[in-house]
């Protein structure tokens, strides 16, 4: 089992906090495993078993507690001592009005509550009203490349591992499989499950076919600028017209299901966020492999998507940087720290080197600037640091 240390170190300071710990992420990315790892650490701190309560609402034996009254009565029956309890509720979105029940436990008992869900609306919708200011959230992704390598601990050929990761991504269930056909079947099943449960059923989508076309476009064009009008034109035909407002609704559903992130451009010179100039990134490269548009520079898209997901995994808030001469792939901020990142597949000639390094020429601040590519020969120049992709992904 891969210990999700990147996430655990962020969550540990809140183990004893009364804040509700909200862990979100796409289905099958490892949220339940992370929850079990937290439980193990709570046990290691000498907390007795009777003060730890775990309910997985995708487990049939807990189906009866998906009704809020039954959920409340069951948990209340376990909180019998005047001591601190640790409550773990997995896939909480399956419980009707769960936010009312969770808030009741928080308000009336000495408890530390951890919840997971496969929909980011946990933060913006259901929890916001009743637990405003009383939650702390953590976004979980499938394995990043370092975790992927830890999973394949008996191998040290990083070039081969990276090639596999670029193709199949980091869903733990997919990583377990040896045969490529089995990997593809599992990926397809995960994808279909997310679309059905977290988009179609949850949002009562009346045209799954139109949704599928929008989703195929978004996933297959990871790292490309998106707009409702552009997608509407690309996917509409004489049989079905999909309007731009409908496209925007579907993009919102896709974001909430944690399949893709839509990130804004940021005007570096004017220091303001730009509307309607956003890029989309898929959460796992396995989905890109399933749905990709086969274009000549797809590996540039892959490297850019890997770098984006890596920055998110490391806790950065990410923007696309806009300058008057072009753009910088990423502005990444974490607290007071700020870095710039350019991502490319290979810098094959001087024009490619100039394109990537030259993007920084109009940026006058002194924050660290990086160019990340597959090239193994160091190419740093003019104070701009070049990093090999594998080194960048494996560094501390």
Tens digit of each residue's pLDDT (9 = 90 or more) over 315-359: 999 999 888 778 899 999 999 999 999 999 999 999 999 999 999
What pLDDT band is residue 274 in, cutting at 50, 70 and 90? low
- The whole-number average pLDDT for the span 22-48 is 96
Which range marks the domain in which residue 375 is found? 145-394
Average pLDDT taken over every residue of the chain:
91
- The whole-number average pLDDT for the span 295-317 is 90
Distance (Å, rounded) from C-alpha 22 to C-alpha 25? 10
What local confidence, expressed as pLDDT, does residue 267 receive?
A: 75
pLDDT tens track for 65-88: 999 999 999 999 999 999 999 999
Instruction: Verify that 129 and 163 share a domain, yes or no.
Output: no
First to last CA, the chain: 20
Distances from the Cα of 376 to the Cα of 292, 302, 314, angstroms: 27, 18, 23
Residue 220 has pLDDT above 80, yes or no: yes
What pLDDT band is residue 49 in, cutting at 50, 70 and 90? very high
Distance (Å, rounded) from C-alpha 367 to C-alpha 57? 45
Instruction: Verify that 127 and 217 share a domain, yes or no.
Output: no
Instruction: Verify that 72 and 88 share a domain, yes or no.
Output: yes
pLDDT tens track for 99-124: 899 999 999 999 999 999 988 776 65
What local confidence, expressed as pLDDT, does residue 65 receive?
A: 96
- Of the candidates 18, 212, 32, which has an alpha carbon nearest to the alpha carbon of residue 111? 18
What local confidence, expressed as pLDDT, does residue 275 receive?
A: 55
What pLDDT band is residue 125 in, cutting at 50, 70 and 90? low
Q: Within a 10 A sphere around the Cβ of 46, how many other Cβ atoms?
A: 6
Instruction: Verify that 33 and 157 share a domain, yes or no.
Output: no
- Of the candidates 277, 318, 284, which has an alpha carbon nearest to the alpha carbon of residue 302? 284
Q: What is the pTM of this model?
A: 0.93
Give the CATH number of the domain where residue 35 resides: 3.40.50.300
What local confidence, expressed as pLDDT, does residue 20 receive?
A: 94
Tell which of 95, 118, 139 closes a domain.
139
Instruction: Verify that 104 and 224 share a domain, yes or no.
Output: no
Instruction: Verify that 149 and 126 share a domain, yes or no.
Output: no
Instruction: Verify that 86 and 167 share a domain, yes or no.
Output: no
Helical residues (DSSP H) of the chain, grouped into ranges? 5-11, 31-44, 68-78, 98-108, 121, 127-130, 145-151, 158-168, 172-176, 180-193, 202-203, 208-220, 228-235, 244-256, 285-291, 298-313, 350-358, 389-394
- Specify whether the CB–CB gap between 254 and 148 falls below 8 A: no
Tell which of 139, 166, 183 closes a domain.
139
- Specify whether the CB–CB gap between 308 and 284 falls below 8 A: no
Backbone angles phi, psi at 110, to 5 degrees: -85, 95
What local confidence, expressed as pLDDT, does residue 270 receive?
A: 52
Instruction: Verify that 134 and 261 share a domain, yes or no.
Output: no
What does R_g of the chain's alpha carbons equal in angstroms?
22
Tell which of 116, 139, 162 closes a domain.
139
What pLDDT band is residue 272 in, cutting at 50, 70 and 90? low
- Specify whether the CB–CB gap between 314 and 4 falls below 8 A: no
Distance (Å, rounded) from C-alpha 207 to C-alpha 248? 14
DSSP state of 362: T
Distance (Å, rounded) from C-alpha 143 to C-alpha 147? 5
Instruction: Verify that 201 and 98 share a domain, yes or no.
Output: no
Distance (Å, rounded) from C-alpha 245 to C-alpha 36? 41
Instruction: Verify that 82 and 226 share a domain, yes or no.
Output: no
Q: Give the number of domains in the chain.
A: 2
What pLDDT band is residue 278 in, cutting at 50, 70 and 90? confident
Residue 6 has pLDDT above 90, yes or no: yes
What pLDDT band is residue 221 in, cutting at 50, 70 and 90? confident
What local confidence, expressed as pLDDT, does residue 124 receive?
A: 58
Q: Which residues pair with 332 in a beta bridge?
A: 318, 339
Distance (Å, rounded) from C-alpha 4 to C-alpha 138? 12
Residue 381 CB contacts under 8 Å (≥ 6 apart), including other chains = 357
DSSP 335-357: TTEEEEEEE-S---SHHHHHHHH
Q: In the chain, what percentage of residues exceed pLDDT 70?
A: 94
Instruction: Verify that 30 and 84 share a domain, yes or no.
Output: yes
- The whole-number average pLDDT for the span 210-233 is 90
What local confidence, expressed as pLDDT, does residue 85 receive?
A: 98
What local confidence, expressed as pLDDT, does residue 154 receive?
A: 75
Judged by DSSP in three states, 109 sits in coil
Instruction: Verify that 318 and 193 share a domain, yes or no.
Output: yes
């Amino acid at each position: 089992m891969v210990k999700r240390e990147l996430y655990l170190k962020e969550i540990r300071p809140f183990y004893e906090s009364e804040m509700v710990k909200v862990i979100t992420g796409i289905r099958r990315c490892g949220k339940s495993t992370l929850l079990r790892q937290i439980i193990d650490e709570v046990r290691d701190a000498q907390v007795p078993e009777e003060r730890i309560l775990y309910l997985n609402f995708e487990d049939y034996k807990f189906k009866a507690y998906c009704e809020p009254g039954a959920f409340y009565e069951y948990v209340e029956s376990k909180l019998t001592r005047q001591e601190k309890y640790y409550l773990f509720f997995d896939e909480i979105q399956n419980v009707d009005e769960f936010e009312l029940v969770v808030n009741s436990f928080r308000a009336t008992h000495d408890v530390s509550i951890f919840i997971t869900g496969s929909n980011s609306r946990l933060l913006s919708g259901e929890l916001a009203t009743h637990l405003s200011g009383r939650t702390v959230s953590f976004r979980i992704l499938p394995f990043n490349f370092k975790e992927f390598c830890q999973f394949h601990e008996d191998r040290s050929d990083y070039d081969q591992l990276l090639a596999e990761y670029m193709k199949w991504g980091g869903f733990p269930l997919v990583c377990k499989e040896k045969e490529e056909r089995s990997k593809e079947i599992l990926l397809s099943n995960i994808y279909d499950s997310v679309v059905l449960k977290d988009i179609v059923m949850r949002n009562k989508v009346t045209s799954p076919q139109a949704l599928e076309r929008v989703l195929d476009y978004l996933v297959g064009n990871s790292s490309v600028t998106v707009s409702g009008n552009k997608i509407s034109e690309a996917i509409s035909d004489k049989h079905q017209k999909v309007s731009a407002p409908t496209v925007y609704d579907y993009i919102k559903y896709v974001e909430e299901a944690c399949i893709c992130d839509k990130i804004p451009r940021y005007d570096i010179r004017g220091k303001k966020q730009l509307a309607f100039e956003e890029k989309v990134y898929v959460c796992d490269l396995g989905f890109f492999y399933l749905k990709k548009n086969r274009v000549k520079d797809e590996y540039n898209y892959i490297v850019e998507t890997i770098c984006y997901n890596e920055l998110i995994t490391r806790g950065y808030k990410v923007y696309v940087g806009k300058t008057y001469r072009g753009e910088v792939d990423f502005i990444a901020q974490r607290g007071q720290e700020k870095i710039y990142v350019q991502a490319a597949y290979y810098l094959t000639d001087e024009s490619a080197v100039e394109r990537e390094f030259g993007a920084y020429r109009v940026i006058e601040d002194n924050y660290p600037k990086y160019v990340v590519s597959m090239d193994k020969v160091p190419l740093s120049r003019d104070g701009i640091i070049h990093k090999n992709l594998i080194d960048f992904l494996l560094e501390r």
